[in-house]
Amino acid sequence: MNRIQFSYYSSTKQLTSCYKKLFSSLQNLKSLNPSFQVLSAETPSNPYPHVNHNKSLTIEGTSYKLDDQTNVSPSILSKLSRNLHLQPHHPLYILRTQIEQHFPHFSYFNTLNPIVTVQKNFDDLGFPKDHPGRSKTDSYYINEQIMLRTHTSAHQLEIFSKMNKKFLISGDVYRRDEIDSSHYPIFHQMEGAQIFNMQNIEQEISEDKKYLISLNSTISSQKTPLRDNNEVNDDTIISSNNPIQSCHPIEQVNYVIQHLKFSLNSLIKKLFINHDENLKIRWIDAYFPFTSPSWEMEIFFKGKWLEICGCGIVEQDVLNKAGQNDKIGWAFGLGLERIAMVLFDIPDIRLFWSHDERFLNQFTNFNDNKIIKFQPFSKFPPCIKDISFWLNDQDFHENNFCEIIRDIAEDLVEDVKLVSFS
């Protein structure tokens, strides 16, 4: 049994109502998972009508049976339909479309359902049964077989099976996590993959690389030239710790590795072309069950290396299961929030979820020649007060009034407007 005790102290009404809402949510968790006991609470009306007490849950018209594995919470489910990456002018939308422009002949999948089978999210990609990512403390389960995807890689096999040779998938992904300024249990990823015919790989790759170079030089002639490779630090080597797959001839695999690194380095340089800080990128070895060799790409920001992407050469087993036995290729998964936070100077990951127009309106005039920097605003909603008064003084000047306000309220008042004068 989980015992959770909350204490709060505040005299404001606002916090009292938060506290009540919290209890309502706890009651709902109890109906999702019987081992969860709320020790003391009022009995609230059910604010989440999609949860019924026959142990099933209806999400967007589909009913799911609940079981001991269920751990999704109403607050997570309520975010399922936000689709921030599809909301015009949202920073995640802007970033997604910029990345899509870098891969112009790819197929784009932006509306795949985040509710997937455990099979798709883990088994199809070769995750061992005891992989820590599968645990209930790390992932959100609707029931034993159905979960919220933890990564966009969950769709790789399905899309490869449709005989797609190059594609991008973007979407919301869900991981149970601490909540602070850089962690949130929902974030967005963009998955990219490109596969080539094993037989004429040299030709396919060189044609494609020429194309990518021409794409980049068009951009560099319009703007400042792309920063050169000196800022990319890559001393990874193929070794038994990060091996190529035994079914892959070294010559072929080297072409694919080069193409992958070129595609990602040029993407990141392009995204950051107008960024004021000097960009440093580094490649490090990594491990993923569905790629070998595998790497992570990091960028240096505010004195720290930030991981922004995992990638590698697709496990042949995944391609074979998709009926693409004669192909070889790469895949990557980019974390969109991480990149957007650096690019737009957004200090807190929770801001992406804001409904506040003071956040959303900041990005409406985005064009890719000029990156917009986020301007901080108060955590509290704006509060507008009207004041009317009579004055005998014929020489009234607005500035005198503003001076009085500034003396009393200091910086709490953001704007003063004269509405009418008669």
Q: Which residues bind ligand DAH (CB under 6 A)?
A: 151, 153, 191, 288, 291, 294, 310-312, 331-333
Q: Which amino acid is at 27?
A: Q
Cβ closest to ligand DAH, residue 30 vs residue 282: 282
Nearer to ligand DAH (CB atom), residue 26 or residue 205: 205
CB of 321 to ligand DAH, least distance (A): 15
Closest to ligand DAH by CB, 201 vs 260, is 260
**Cα(313)–Cα(296) distance, rounded to whole angstroms?**
12
Q: Could you give the 3-state DSSP secondary structure of residue 243? A: coil
Q: List the beta bridge partners of residue 190.
A: 170, 334
The Cα-based distances of 76 to 19, 152, 223 in angstroms read: 18, 18, 42
- Three-state secondary-structure class, residue 60: coil
CB of 297 to ligand DAH, least distance (A): 10
Nearer to ligand DAH, 73 or 294 (CB): 294
279-301 burial, b at 16+ Cβ within 10 Å, e below that, comes to bebbbebbebbbbbbbbbbbbbb
Kindly state the helix (H) or strand (E) to which residue 287 belongs, with its residue range. Answer: strand 281-288
Least Å distance between CB 312 and ligand DAH?
Answer: 5
Least Å distance between CB 296 and ligand DAH? 8
Q: Could you tell me which of 300, 363, 347 has the C-alpha nearest to residue 96?
A: 363
Of 93 and 332, nearer to ligand DAH (C-beta) is: 332
User: Which one, 146 or 308, has the nearer CB to ligand DAH?
Assistant: 308
Judged by beta carbon, residue 331 or residue 340, the one nearer ligand DAH is 331
Of 44 and 126, CB closest to ligand DAH: 126
Smallest gap from Cβ 84 to ligand DAH, in A, equals 18
Residue 337 C-beta: closest distance to ligand DAH, Å: 13
What whole-number distance in Å separates Cα of residue 245 and Cα of residue 97?
Answer: 33
Report the DSSP pairing between strands 56-59 and 62-65: antiparallel
For residue 220 the two structure tokens come to: 């560099």
**Within 13 Å and on the Cβ side, how many CA atoms surround 126?**
15
Compute the least distance from the CB of residue 301 to ligand DAH, in Å. 19
For every residue of 84-110, DSSP letters joined together read: GGGSTT-HHHHHHHHHHHHSTTSEEE-
To ligand DAH, the closest distance from the beta carbon of 295 in angstroms equals: 8
Terminal alpha carbon distance of the chain = 69
Nearest to ligand DAH of 57, 334 (CB atom): 334
Using an 8 Å Cβ cutoff, are 186 and 79 in contact? yes
Closest CA to 292 of 274, 316, 271: 316
Rounded least distance, CB 31 to ligand DAH, Å: 31
Identify the bridge partners of residue 52 per DSSP, sorted by sequence position.
Answer: 56
Cβ atoms of residues 260 and 304 within 8 Å? no
Cβ at position 153, least distance to ligand DAH in Å:
4
CB-based contacts of 222, cutoff 8 Å, min separation 6: none
The residue (of 288 and 363) whose beta carbon lies closer to ligand DAH is 288
Residues 6 or more apart from 138 whose CB is under 8 A from it? 132, 150, 175, 176
